[in-house]
Amino acid sequence: MPLILPDQLIDQEVLNQENIFTMTQDQADHQDIRPIKILIVNLMPKKEETELQLLRMLSNSALQMNIDLVRMDSYKATHTSQDRLKKFYKTYDQIKDQNFDAMIITGAPVERMDYQDIIYWKELKHIFDFAREHVFSTLFICWSAQAALYHYFGVPKQEVEEKIFGIYQYEKKKEDPILKGFDDSFYAPQSRYTYVKEEDLREIPQIQVLSSREDTGVGLATTLDHRFVFSFGHWEYDKETLHEEYLRDLDKGLDTQIPKNYYRQDDPQGDIIMNWRSSGSLFFSNWLNYCVYQETPYQLEKIKGVKVAKFGGSSLASASQFSKVKKIIQAKEDREIIVVSAPGKRSKDDQKVTDLLEKYYEGKKRARDLEVMIESFRKDQAAKRQEAQEALAAVRTRFQEIVRDLDLEEALKEDLDETFQDLDKTQSKDFVLSRGEYLNAKILAQALDYDFIDAKDIIRLKSQDQLDYGESYKAIIKTIHKGQRVVVPGFYGANAQGDIRTFKRGGSDYTGSIIASALQSKVYENWTDVSGIMTQDPNLSKDAKRIPSMNYQELTDLIDQGAQVYQRDAIDLVKEKNITLKILNTNAPEEGGTEIKDQEDK
């Protein structure tokens, strides 16, 4: 199928010689087909050569493609005329509001420079962020793969003294759609002074390494959802590309060694052994088919990030509050992941469900201890048992009122009965305290017709207060699928033995942050009973005003000064991904709340 290129980008005779089939935009518009939209961010100095190499690889597919080219507006290229760049290339500002099926970001001869010292680094970071929201799958090549891993995950690059230069054989580490049809070993051209260690990627649960060598580092890696593909080699290279680069290095007086496994008998005057073209063609074809065409939505505007919304106990304290929450969730299609706390106070003199559950547990524990005491304490034992049962009865009544008022009694009767039977049997305090969030999540999932996912199945703990980030992130990514609408109870997880373990109070903030971080959420909404962060305690001062926005450091400073506005341990999880945190009022969603986010570079 043809490529749809900017008119006169490449001479038609050259395209014919390369067997690259093209058509005009007018011809494409008259066909009953949506071409996939591909954006090429060309950072290479010899742009015409790179254009032709990439177009040759793309044209091997049976798909019809509309190609757009992007240049760095903050850097003036010296190897290509400015007139040609302005005629055929767009800037980030010209495409930033569009959506694309795929994007390719090329390498650049800047790998020895610190990222922050590169003239166009700020502009490139905007493009990296653009890829998350506006592109279904992005292929990063060579240096851009290293830069992207640094930007998204903080992975450092390593520098070598002798250039990684030549044709290298790689072993396939695992089966993956992008390597479908590949032999167990394959070849890829390499030309760089830096690399990424495989061990630096092992602790990132979203990433899988598909090929690697000790002397070159990672060769190929992808995110589990194939939204990002990191290729450290140059499958697009022509037969003569490394040879010409070798001669240029020699002309510059560089001590560059002969490209490895490239010349027959390592003789630069001899034949070149081309053994990467078939693998390269298959790689590009697989990427376009399995990572782009088979997965991308027909309407590109549907590409979006995941939004996690957490509702506090005051937001879900009664059936009327549930109705408000349901309305808020259904008001926006992208509120897919919901985290809930146990019912909070309905009034100033009311009690939180978790407080009642804690009373129940403490009373039951005390009653159990008294059983081994002498007869003189039996009256006290009976009283504590009564206190515990009254607390549990109050909890049961509270939930029964909610499900009755929501007309969910029949649907949730079995869950309620089973939960209270389990409460009566258990000796675990953590299990008891977790049931408020558990039942609230069950009720809200039923009310919304969302899937219920138990926090014990996705939140892993090494100990009472130590989260197992790696296992938790893997479980979250494996369990919560794109487009799935779920409700998750906050406040607890499970240890390696599967036993329920609760966080310290306020732990639902922590649960929401964990899930938002694992899914690289675009926004994390935290709904409560105040309209964001205030200048003063609104219960003590009528002059308290809402702070509309702040950065994470300002939020951390407030908490460290004693402000009870957010669970302290939960901040770093969303801060490190610069996820937008919004603190909102369930009872007054129109007031806007407070938005917390670090300023992006501009």
Distance CA 490, CA 528 (A): 14
The predicted pLDDT at position 530 comes to 85
- Note the pTM of the prediction, 2 decimals: 0.56
The predicted pLDDT at position 3 comes to 47
| 562 CB neighbour count, 10 Å cutoff | 6
Degrees, nearest 5: CA angle 360-363-364:
85
Catalytic residues: 142, 234, 236
Distance CA 128, CA 152 (A): 8
Query: What DSSP string runs through 191-209?
Result: EEEEE--THHHHT-TTEEE
Query: 């779920």: which residue's tokens?
Result: 486
Distance CA 53, CA 58 (A): 9
| 245 CB neighbour count, 10 Å cutoff | 18
The predicted pLDDT at position 30 comes to 41
The predicted pLDDT at position 217 comes to 97
Distance CA 341, CA 354 (A): 9
The predicted pLDDT at position 493 comes to 93
The predicted pLDDT at position 58 comes to 87
The predicted pLDDT at position 492 comes to 93
The predicted pLDDT at position 331 comes to 80
319-331 helix and 429-448 helix, angle to the nearest 10 degrees: 60
- Do residues 206 and 472 make contact, with C-beta atoms less than 8 angstroms apart? no
Q: Could you tell me which residues are beta bridge partners of residue 195?
A: 158
Q: Could you tell me which residues are beta bridge partners of residue 231?
A: 141, 220
| Chain length of the chain | 602
The predicted pLDDT at position 1 comes to 44
The predicted pLDDT at position 2 comes to 47
In the chain, the amino acid numbered 485 is R
HSE-up of 305 (CA within 13 Å, CB side)?
19
- Mean pLDDT (10-residue bins), the chain, 602 residues: 52 53 48 76 91 87 84 83 86 93 94 94 95 93 96 94 95 94 96 96 92 96 94 95 94 93 93 94 92 65 67 91 90 81 92 92 86 74 89 94 95 95 93 95 96 95 82 94 92 92 77 91 89 82 88 86 71 86 92 85 47
